[in-house]
Amino acid sequence: MNEIILRLIEQGGYWGIFFLMVIENVFPPIPSEVIMGLGGVAVARGTMSFWPLLLVGTVGSTLGNYVWFMIGDKLGYRRLQPLVDRWGRWLTLEWEDVEKATAFFRRHGQWIVFALRFSPFLRTIISLPAGLTHMNRGLFLLFTFVGAAIWNVALILGGKFLAEFLKGSTLVMDIIIFGGLGLAVVGYVYRILTWKPRS
């Protein structure tokens, strides 16, 4: 079955990776670890090249984060809070989370946008307070791009190493690929079903 998923990734090509990375940063549940990791497997198979994959994955990730930055920058606190109160369930997010993230951003400074690119849970949400506090746009894009690039290098090389290490062991690859996808989807559904606002 992993062959089917890999072929879908390969047929989508670099544009497919770009689109998935944008969506991953705007709306869950497919994590970049799975997307870029599979891209690394495609590199090992010779159907994708490292540098184009890194570029499209990083640009897609930066664009997806920029969407959240612009939402915060353009809407501001007053117009954003009703939206979070109404639709927060689907992001398992409530207004208190936004306030905590904003306080965290103010406390640690703008460089935190770069540092949190390596955090699976905080790398996207930090873009919202960056927009709410009207962080310099160029600096935000630079920090996001560089941080995402470093993280994507690790994911691609990890996927490539795994494919080469497990070459010929399709069962183990099936378990890893479907395990990653399954955990992401099940985790997201569980969060939605069990999520309750603190209020």
pLDDT digit string (tens) for 52-100? 999 999 999 999 999 999 999 999 988 888 888 888 777 777 888 888 8
pLDDT at 77: 84
Tokens 């306080």, located at residue? 103
Q: Report the helix count and the strand count for the chain, using DSSP H and E.
A: 8, 0
The average pLDDT across 23-47 equals 85
The average pLDDT across 46-56 equals 96
Whether 12 and 183 have beta carbons less than 8 Å apart is answered as: no
pLDDT at 4: 67
* Whether pLDDT at 166 is above 70: yes
pLDDT at 163: 86
pLDDT at 89: 74
* pLDDT confidence tier of residue 199, bands split at 50, 70 and 90: low
The whole-angstrom separation of Cα 178 and Cα 77 is 39
pTM of the entire predicted model: 0.84
Q: Long-range contacts: 74-81, Cβ < 8 Å, 24+?
A: 74/131, 76/132, 77/132, 80/132
pLDDT at 70: 96
